[in-house]
Amino acid sequence: MVELNCETDFVARNDTFKRFVDHVSRIVLHYTDLTEFDGDLWKLGFDSEALKNLETPQGGSLADHLALLIGAMGENASIRRALCFKVNNDLRLAGYAHPAPTNVSTTQNITQVGKYGAIVAFRSQHDVDDHEIQKGICQQIVGMKPLKVGEYGKDVPAENKDDETCLIHQEYLLDADKTVGEVLKENAIEIVDYHRFECGERTQRDIKEIIRAQQQNSN
């Protein structure tokens, strides 16, 4: 997942900006594909500077390409962050961006563009992927912002279901008669890890920088 920002909705909906989002995503994917690792799941985060320093097959860095985009659009834009998941063995990945496109039959090999996004690493006992279930779990993460997957026997459901922060105990958005955990069991799916992006949200790094600045001002 990558986060790019611009100043207006007009530019965010512009095909030139969307193509640049696709371009940045594929550059990050290229570097992810080059990574070899032991284990089941590998994750790497990029901050803005690291992303802008990535060299592209077309020549120049992403910072150079961003400058060209800004010149062409006449509006400031930024490449803020990225998070890469890569899986081995029996793990699989699912992703979703909201709002989702309504005019495509599949999202395979398509860069999804939206204000919110989720990526999920999971195991499934089924050989054939159920993309609708995977999409539903991603939508749950986007819409309900769980803080963790949760564990049965360790994490107790919240008294008020609207306050629930464990994914498995949350009411499933697509079927209010079931919890997410029940849906996962029915479909023989185990969530190993996930992450959620929201454009413009404060990250842990942002919070640390704010605290550091406040401490410096108080000295």
CATH second-level architecture of 2-218? Answer: 2-Layer Sandwich (3.30)
**Do the beta carbons of residue 1 and residue 117 sit within 8 Å?**
yes
Is the pLDDT reported for residue 204 higher than 70? yes
Q: What is the pLDDT of residue 117?
A: 97
Q: What is the pLDDT of residue 106?
A: 60
112-131 pLDDT per residue, tens: 999 999 999 999 998 778 89
The better pLDDT of the pair 67, 204 is held by 67
Q: What is the pLDDT of residue 33?
A: 93
- Other beta carbons less than 10 A from residue 37's beta carbon: 12
The better pLDDT of the pair 26, 104 is held by 26
Is the pLDDT reported for residue 108 higher than 90? no
Q: What is the pLDDT of residue 176?
A: 93
**Mean pLDDT, range 153-164, rounded to an integer:** 95
Average pLDDT, the chain: 92
Is the pLDDT reported for residue 208 higher than 90? no
Tell me the pTM: 0.89
CA atoms within 13 A on the CB side of 183: 24
What whole-number percentage of the chain has pLDDT above 70? Answer: 95
27-77 pLDDT per residue, tens: 999 999 999 999 999 999 999 999 999 999 999 999 999 999 999 999 999
Q: What is the pLDDT of residue 207?
A: 67
Q: How far apart are CA 70 and CA 63, in angstroms?
A: 11
**Do the beta carbons of residue 137 and residue 190 sit within 8 Å?**
no
Q: What is the pLDDT of residue 212?
A: 73
- DSSP, residue by residue, 95-125: EEEESPPSS-S--TT-----SEEEEEEEEES
